[in-house]
């Protein structure tokens, strides 16, 4: 009896933590590779509406974003509250869209240029007038594959 | 000779440094994948010489005004009822004079079937809110998706969504998916918005 007890009383050895940095580095690299840094700072209010039939956008590198909404509180003094278009990092007008489309296409591989999805991130309170104008502008420059950015929800309501 | 042994560098704090970096990346990066309704715009036509005539019975007319109210086929409707109404219209039986016409179409995998000539026409006002626009779009897409699911379930014992997911894996599934798609073609025509008025 006492033979066995003696052995157990010795106390457990400390767990070897030498491989801990390796594990953490592995996690670190995983996150570094899989995540994408947010590229633009939003200058417009942007709460996208909700929908049930949403699809995921597959290739992130093939998506170009157009933001529409009223300027954020901080910028309302200078820019007013009328809805505006934000392309990359600045407020732009409808007339700048052809150039924007051209630049976005230019920055992609030639084979992939026609597969770009144009994601419209429009604030849900925006009126359709400006959205339609943007759509027409995109249509004119042959940017036809659109995505209306929405959040997923289970049910939509009447109001 | 006079060289002293260089003491080993203590690597105990390596984990801390790595953790610090890890937490930095966890915090600064966004994992959100963009989701949304994917639509295609019609290409620009040079000049509309003569739009082909479409019979009134083939068109499901939806008007949205500046107050976000819906007028569907001349009747006021709530957006939550739109899905059912659209489904009834899209999946009507042939031979009903108030419902769309049918055309015999050859579909690979189904043979010759009668396909409805339905078109959904959507017109919104410049003052319509984007939220309402998305709701209408969503309900229409949902109507098509539900019908396609039901049809695929009945024909191939699999919902349409599953066919879409697996369409990359085999040609047979891809053909089935295309057949379902052709049986219920998604035809949503968006007219250019008008400024019909209503309160801003």
pLDDT at A100: 92
Write out residues 136-165 of B within 8 Å (CB-CB) of A. Answer: 137-139, 141-142, 145
Residue A15 domain-assigned (yes or no):
no
- A37 and chain B in contact, CB less than 8 A: yes
Write out residues 63-82 of B within 8 Å (CB-CB) of A. Answer: 78-80
Q: How many domains does chain A have?
A: 1
Q: Show the domain range for B153.
A: 56-190
- A157 and chain B in contact, CB less than 8 A: yes
Residue A115 domain-assigned (yes or no):
yes
Residue B37 domain-assigned (yes or no):
no
Residue B80 domain-assigned (yes or no):
yes
Contact A97, A103 (CB under 8 A): no
- A82 and chain B in contact, CB less than 8 A: no
Q: Which residues contact A87 (CB under 8 A, 6 or more apart)?
A: A66, A67, A96, A97, A100
Q: Which of A124, A148, A156 sits opposite B36 (nearest CB)?
A: A148
Contact A85, A66 (CB under 8 A): yes
Cβ burial of B75 (10 Å; 0-12, 13-18, 19+) is exposed
- A119 and chain B in contact, CB less than 8 A: yes
Q: Do A139 and B35 touch (CB under 8 A)?
A: no
Coil, strand, or helix at residue B64? Answer: strand
Residue B113 domain-assigned (yes or no):
yes
pLDDT at B199: 42
- B7 and chain A in contact, CB less than 8 A: no
Mean pLDDT score across all residues of chain B = 83
Residue B126 domain-assigned (yes or no):
yes
Residue B34 domain-assigned (yes or no):
no
- B33 and chain A in contact, CB less than 8 A: yes
Residue A91 domain-assigned (yes or no):
yes
Q: Which of B25, B42, B137 sits opposite A148 (nearest CB)?
A: B137
Q: Show the domain range for A54.
A: 50-152
Residue B176 domain-assigned (yes or no):
yes
User: Mean pLDDT in each 10-residue stretch from start to end of chain A (159 residues)?
Assistant: 56 79 83 70 85 83 88 88 88 91 89 88 89 89 89 77
pTM (2 d.p.):
0.77
Per residue in B128-148, pLDDT (tens digit) is 898 999 999 999 999 999 999
Q: Closest Cα to residue B27, out of A35, A130, A148?
A: A35
Q: How many domains does chain B have?
A: 1
Residue B42 domain-assigned (yes or no):
no
Which CATH number goes with the domain that contains A123? 3.30.420.270
């Amino acid at each position: 009896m006492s033979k066995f007890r003696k052995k157990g009383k010795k106390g457990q050895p400390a767990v070897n933590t030498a491989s801990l940095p390796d594990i953490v580095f592995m996690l670190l690299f995983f996150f570094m590779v899989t995540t994408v840094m947010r590229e633009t700072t939003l200058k417009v209010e942007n709460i996208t509406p909700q929908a049930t039939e949403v699809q995921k956008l597959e290739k992130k590198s093939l998506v170009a974003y157009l933001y529409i909404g009223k300027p954020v509180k901080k910028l309302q003094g200078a820019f007013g509250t009328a809805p505006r278009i934000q392309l990359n990092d600045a407020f732009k007008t409808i007339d700048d869209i052809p150039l924007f489309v051209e630049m976005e296409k230019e920055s992609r591989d030639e084979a992939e240029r026609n597969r770009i999805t144009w994601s419209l991130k429009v604030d849900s309170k925006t009126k359709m007038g400006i959205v339609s104008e943007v759509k027409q502008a995109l249509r004119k420059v042959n940017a036809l594959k659109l995505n209306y950015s929405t959040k997923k929800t289970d049910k939509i309501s009447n109001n | 000779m006079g060289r002293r042994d260089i003491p080993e560098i203590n690597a105990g704090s390596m984990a801390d440094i790595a953790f610090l970096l890890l937490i930095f990346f966890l915090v600064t990066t966004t994992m959100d994948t963009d989701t949304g309704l994917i639509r295609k715009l019609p290409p620009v036509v040079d000049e509309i010489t003569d739009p082909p005539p479409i019979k009134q019975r083939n068109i499901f007319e939806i008007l949205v005004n500046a107050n976000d109210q819906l007028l569907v086929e001349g009747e006021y409707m709530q957006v939550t009822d739109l899905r059912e109404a659209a489904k009834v219209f899209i999946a009507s039986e042939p031979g009903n004079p108030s419902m769309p016409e049918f055309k015999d179409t050859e579909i690979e995998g189904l043979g010759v079937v009668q396909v409805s000539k339905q078109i959904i026409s959507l017109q919104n006002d410049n003052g319509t809110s984007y939220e309402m626009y998305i709701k209408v779009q969503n309900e229409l897409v949902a109507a098509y998706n539900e019908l396609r699911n039901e049809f695929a379930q009945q024909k191939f014992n699999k919902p349409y969504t599953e066919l879409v997911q697996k369409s990359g894996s085999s040609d047979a599934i891809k053909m089935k998916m295309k057949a379902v798609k052709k049986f219920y073609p998604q035809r949503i025509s968006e007219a250019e918005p008008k400024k019909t008025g209503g309160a801003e």
